[in-house]
Amino acid sequence: MADPIIRMSNIEKHFGSVIALAGVTVEVNPGECHCLLGDNGAGKSTFIKTMSGVHKPTSGEIYFEGKPLSFEDPRDAISAGIATVYQDLAMIPLMSVSRNFFMGNEPTKKKFGVSVFDHDYANEVTMAEMKKMGISLRGPDQAVGTLSGGERQTVAIARAVHFGAKVLILDEPTSALGVRQTSNVLATIDKVRKSGIAVVFITHNVRHAMAVGDRFTVLNRGKTLGTALKGEITPEELQDLMAGGQELATLEGSLGGTV
């Protein structure tokens, strides 16, 4: 197995007296989809924000491509090749797909000695990158707001890949999608993984994780409950870990098997 592209070692994150992460260690390899699962409040959001430079860890080490790394802010993480696609997607619905695709990275050309947005280049790249992900747009000038939720997720993923992501963090990308849109997004994740990019897939849906995941780490109350390779754990066992395992069994016993 390849050396990890990113290793979060014994990460702790405190917010005053609140311990959000209590010594979490996770490794992510190039070309794998590493699923991070956990119920609400498990620490998933804090963990990915620490990985992507939003939060600085209270203690612990981040190793990227084998070297210790400290991110001062998210721009450092993005420059290193760690891209995050959040649930809100940070897109402007009334703007075209191509303008959203290149937002913050606008290509320019000279016209009458003045730098202007290079529509032709942006349109060509956007159509090509979306086609690679299996999405056929009516045209690059189509407003993002007219796309389905799954298609908007794919735009955000394709944008991150195009601009050099080595690690792609996906924050609950399927949580608000229907069955067909979910299937399309999972297929996109599979394409990205097979291209050699490391994917960190944050989810609380075991079925979605099992569909594309290579490894699975469960977070519970800021701690890892272990990491398993595909084939080493069943969906039922994974769900049981997420639900609290022994705690649920104890509760079920105390309630006479009614849980």
Could you please state the CATH topology (level 3) that the domain comprising 6-92+149-234 is classified under.
Rossmann fold (3.40.50)
Is residue 107 within 8 A of residue 140, CB to CB? The reply is no
The pLDDT assigned to 256 comes to: 57
The predicted model scores a pTM of 0.87
Mean pLDDT of 33-56: 90
Return the structure tokens found at 188. 């996109």
Mean pLDDT of 148-160: 91
The pLDDT assigned to 124 comes to: 93
pLDDT 10s digits, 83-97: 999 877 778 889 999
Return the structure tokens found at 63. 């190793």
The pLDDT assigned to 139 comes to: 86
Q: Give me the percent of the chain exceeding a pLDDT of 90.
A: 51
pLDDT 10s digits, 242-254: 876 544 445 455 5
